[in-house]
Amino acid sequence: MAKNDLIDSAYSDYSDEQKGRRDLERLKKHNARLQMICDQQSEQLESMKKAKFSFSKQRPQKPGKTFLRFIVPDTHGSLVDQAAITAMFADLERMGSSVREVILMGDHLECGGFLAQHHVLGYVAQSEYTFADDVMAANAFLDEVQRLAPKARVYYLEGNHENRIERWIVDQVLGHAKDAAFLHKMFSTKNVLGLDKRGIQFFSSGEKYGLRVPGAIKLGPCHFLHGSNHGKDVARKMAGMFGGNVVFAHVHTQQSVTVRTVSSGEIGAWCPGCVCQLQPLYRHSTITDWSQGYGLQIVRSSTLDFLHCNVPLIDGQSLLQGFAGMF
């Protein structure tokens, strides 16, 4: 190799070495910048963790005295569902003395047959209905309620089925007031179920009890009435109509809604469902969407504020089973 070639080769090697050193220095500086950014990010994350934002703490309040309010929707007398009511009674028995109020939401008499002439009979079995059997079934129901909750105050709201008795009486006497009063005394719901003797307070669907709506009562911040509306979203309608908390029956389906209003704040409306047969013969042409259940409220004794729960009864089993001992 010529001398010049050796010199050129040596210079080339030197240039490559210098370039490699410069590249290495650039990489070191780049890595240093990346490390600085990582350190800054870590410091920022640690600073965020140590932020002074905190949630206010509230001292746990001593649990006040509470009681249970047991709410029974439509049972329909002799058309009661035996499996459903047996499950409901089992829950009531386990709750025992904690139940201080029982609200019977109405339609605990079916009042079929001659009292329901608007229903066209389509089956022989329907002709076997008797008002006497209906009354016996309703009385047996009341006997069991009072046996299982002997210390509870019981309220009975008249439903549209019980009201059939009064409408039938008025129709039979052709509007004669004295005859109507006589028959009503003999065959009224209060009489055939012995409500006065039982100490059960009865609320007629045609009378007002300190509210603008007949047949409705108010216990603390909650209204109760049998109701007359039908449909999928009755709970929302009821909350809007009352502008306050309300429990209703009549629609045979479990419904609930919670809304917030400007004037009343947060309010709710609930229907517990029913405890009657889900597919009675008079609905032979239409499959119902009814659901079985009852209502339960845990009520604070001092303020009467409450927590409402619709308890489903499915295939003769209470979904509260196993929890009722908590009460």
Residues near 264 by beta carbon (within 8 Å), at least 6 away in sequence: 243, 244
Residue 250 lies in a domain: yes
CA-based nearest residue to 313, from 137, 91, 100, 78: 91
169-189 confidence digits (pLDDT tens): 888 887 788 888 888 888 899
13 and 106 housed in the same domain: no
CA atoms of 286 and 254, how far apart (whole Å): 19
What SS3 class is residue 305? coil
Q: Cβ contacts of residue 225 below 8 Å, gap of 6+?
A: 157, 213, 215, 216, 217, 246, 248
Q: Do 287 and 153 fall into the same domain? A: yes
- Say how many domains are in the chain: 2
pLDDT exceeds 70 at position 11? no
User: Which residues, 6 or more positions from 152, have their beta carbon under 8 angstroms from its beta carbon?
Assistant: 70, 99, 100, 101, 102, 146
pLDDT in tens, 96-149: 889 999 999 999 999 887 776 655 556 556 667 788 999 999 999 999 999 999
Assess whether 70 and 42 both reside in one domain.
Answer: no
Q: What range does the domain containing 276 cover? A: 66-326
Closest of 100, 240, 124, 114 to residue 171, by C-alpha: 114
Q: In one letter, which amino acid is 266?
A: E
How confident is the model over 249-298, as pLDDT tens digits? 999 999 999 999 888 899 999 999 999 999 987 777 789 999 999 999 99
Which stretches within 208-319 are classed as H helix?
Answer: 234-242
DSSP string, 20-64: HHHHHHHHHHHHHHHHHHHHHHHHHHHHHHT-S------PPPPP-
Same domain, yes or no, for 150 and 100? Answer: yes
User: Same domain for 130 and 40?
Assistant: no
**pLDDT more than 90, % of the chain:** 58
The total of other beta-carbon atoms located within 10 Å of residue 219's CB is: 18
Do residues 308 and 231 both lie within one domain?
yes
Report d(CA 290, CA 250) in Å as an integer: 11
